[in-house]
Structure 1
Amino acid sequence: MKELFLIICLMKLFHYGMSIDYDGWLNIKIEHTLNCKDGKYCSRGNISLKSIRAGIATIEQTPFTKQHIEQLKEIAEIDGFYTVKTLVTSADNKGTELLSSVKARSFLENGLSDVINAWMLPNGAVTAVNFQVTNSSKALQHNKDGYLINSKFFLRYVEQAPVPDTASYIQKLEREREAREKGELKDNRSFLAKYWMYIVPIAIFVMISGATNPEPAGQAAR
């Protein structure tokens, strides 16, 4: 019996571990609105993870050209936003499009450096991908291919809040109601706990009456 109980416990632990320890590949295609000839968005790069559990990402991004920088400066002059669209695909997800925006001026002043955060549920579903820039000031890095984009990627996990057991609570209230109707549920509260809603108004009325009708002062002795 002990061996059987141990096997059942191990099977439950194994099933629990499998349900929360999700793994698989993940791919995030990055698109933006700069220097796009056809359509509103065009490719900026790609982020790929062979293993979500390992969390090691490979980031490939196309350097900005002079035209990219000029358009970014034009957006920065009107204090506008640089918009990025991501297409998230995985073994269980054919594709989810997500949008994120940063201030164009901040992106320029930070030397085309940003932080990319992908927020994932325990089941492996990505709920958001957001881009951020720090407040540091960096110069643009330029080589023969163009202006380099410096990105850091982080995979964040979202902890789901516990779901209240509403059904059990409703069943409990229903059982208490039926017991009260049958007279099976005794009220063990004190006299004050039962009838406070009647006692408090009377007490307040007595206090107000005493304050508005004080006893007349005795006449002074002659």
Structure 2
Amino acid sequence: MKGLLSIIYVLELIHYAVSIDYDGWLNIKIEHNLNCKDAVYCSRGNIALKSIRSGLANIEQTPFAKQHIEHLKEIAETDGFYTVKTLVTSADNQGTELISSVKARSFLENGLSDVINAWMLPNGAITAVNFQATNSSKPLQASKDGYLVNSKFYLRHVELAPVPDTTSYIQKLEREREAREKGEVKDNRSFLAKYWVYIVPIAIFVMISGAASNAETAGQAAR
């Protein structure tokens, strides 16, 4: 029992440690599966945060060329997905690859506008980066360099569920067990709660006997 309590205590210390506020830089490299020639993914842009705590991001993305739009339309014709791969790096993380997909048709119909959400744990680790096409119904915005990609970035914080007070509960069970062994536990139940298992059969027997007696008396009276 003492060993189990020690393990629980260590786990609670770890939970407290990862709940401490974290700050540092964060970089998210964005790649997609459009017009990449022989490669599966090629560069789309980059998101950089100097301070995780502030959440302010600098988004740089390469405009789509005509070939990108044509490839996106081909995927949309088959109701396929436009896939994005992100490589997340930080001061404590050398690189985590994450994949997200949206309907190509939706991304195209909303003028290459999307929302990028990065989900971060209290210790600063990014667990997911997902892309969602906005419901803006914007037309494609052309510039001299190509078609502009409009993205909004949000750093989301994942809140850990409260840790149950298992230590106190186990200590309570231990005290109750010791009290039972010493005979110190008092039974505060009512008389019926204690002896219902004996009372119920007797009551049923009395009811059956009474019913049989009443039936016999009724029969004799009828004769």
TM-score tier by shorter-chain length is: 0.7 to 0.9
Give the drift of 1:126.
1.2
Identical amino acids, percent of aligned pairs: 78
- 1:184 deviation in Å? 2.1
Structure 2 distance, partners of 1:59, 1:96, is: 19
Describe the superposition over 1:89-146 as per-residue Cα deviations: whole angstroms up to 9, x where unpaired. 1111111111111110000000000000111112211111111112331100111111
Q: Which runs of 5+ in 2 are unaligned?
A: 1-15
Change (3 A) 1:203 1:47: farther
Per the alignment, residue 119 of structure 2 pairs with: 119
TM-superposed deviation, 1:214: 10
Query: Number of paired residues?
Result: 205
What's the C-alpha RMSD, in Å, of the aligned pairs? 3.0
Secondary structure in structure 2 of the residue aligned to 1:179:
helix
In structure 2, relative to structure 1, the CA distance for the partners of 1:118 and 1:195 (3 Å cut) is farther
TM-score for the superposition, normalised by structure 2: 0.80
**CA distance in 1 between partners of 2:68 and 2:213 (Å):** 86
Deviates more, 1:87-96 or 1:200-209: 200-209
Letter in 2 for 1:88: V
Deviations 1:8-29 (Å, cap 9, x if unpaired)? xxxxxxxx9x963321111111
Q: Give the 5 Å matches for 1:39-188.
A: 39-188=39-188
Distance 1:117 1:100 in 2: 11
The equivalent of 2:3 in structure 1 is: none
For residues 60-94 of structure 1, what are the alpha-carbon distances to aligned partners after superposition, in whole Å with 9 as ceiling and x for unaligned? Answer: 01111111111111111111111111111111111
Relative to structure 1, the CA distance from residue 145 to residue 199 in structure 2 (aligned partners, 3 Å threshold; closer, same or farther) is: farther
Deviates more, 1:123-132 or 1:201-210: 201-210
Distance 1:35 1:205 in 2: 83
The code of the aligned residue for 2:135 comes to: N
Q: Following the alignment from structure 1 to structure 2, what is the Cα–Cα distance between the partners of residues 137 and 187? A: 71
User: 1:103, 1:200 → 2: CA distance?
Assistant: 69
| SS of corresponding position for 2:106 | helix
* Residue 200 to residue 83, structure 1, CA distance change in 2 (3 Å): farther
Alpha-carbon deviation of 1:200? 8.5
Where structure 1 has 5 or more consecutive residues not aligned to the other structure, the ranges are 1-15
- Partner of 2:4 in structure 1? none
CA shift digits 1:17-43 (9 cap, x unpaired): x96332111111111111112431111
Closer, same or farther in 2 for the Cα pair 1:161/1:19, shift >3 Å? closer
Instruction: Describe the SS at the equivalent of 2:28.
Output: strand
- Structure 1 counterpart SS, 2:23: coil
SS in 2 for 1:106: helix
SS of equivalent residue, structure 1 residue 20: coil
Provide the residue aligned with 2:25 in structure 1.
Answer: 25
In the TM superposition, what whole-angstrom CA distance separates every residue of 1:144-196 from its partner, at most 9, and x where no partner exists? Answer: 11111000001111111111133432332133122212212222232334345
Displacement, 1:208? 9.1
